Amino acid sequence: MNVSRYGALLASPVALKIGSPLHLNLHTQSPLPERAGSEQLKARVVHGCKLPSRSLAYGVHIEQALPPIRASDALAADVPIAWG
């Protein structure tokens, strides 16, 4: 995944339709546990292409970012976290 300020380029094993809505979870890691966490993003597929490896890739526009969920917040709220 290649992420920029307003979007991302995602490789996908399945074909996606241009205009399709996506919900993405962006997980971050940090040597400081209180800085690690995840962010939920609402995005839409805006274009498709083939990578040099011949796999499919899609450009997505990030429409909305919800507040980040930090690992320390999730632990305090007893919310399960996927590590790794």
Give yes or no for a contact between 62 and 7, defined as CB atoms under 8 angstroms apart.
yes
Collect contacts of 29-34 with beta carbons under 8 A, ≥24 apart. Answer: 33/71, 33/72, 34/70, 34/71, 34/72
The pLDDT of residue 83 is 46
Per residue of the chain (84 residues), what is the pLDDT tens digit? 777 778 889 988 889 999 999 988 877 777 776 666 777 889 999 999 998 888 899 999 999 877 666 655 555 555 444 444
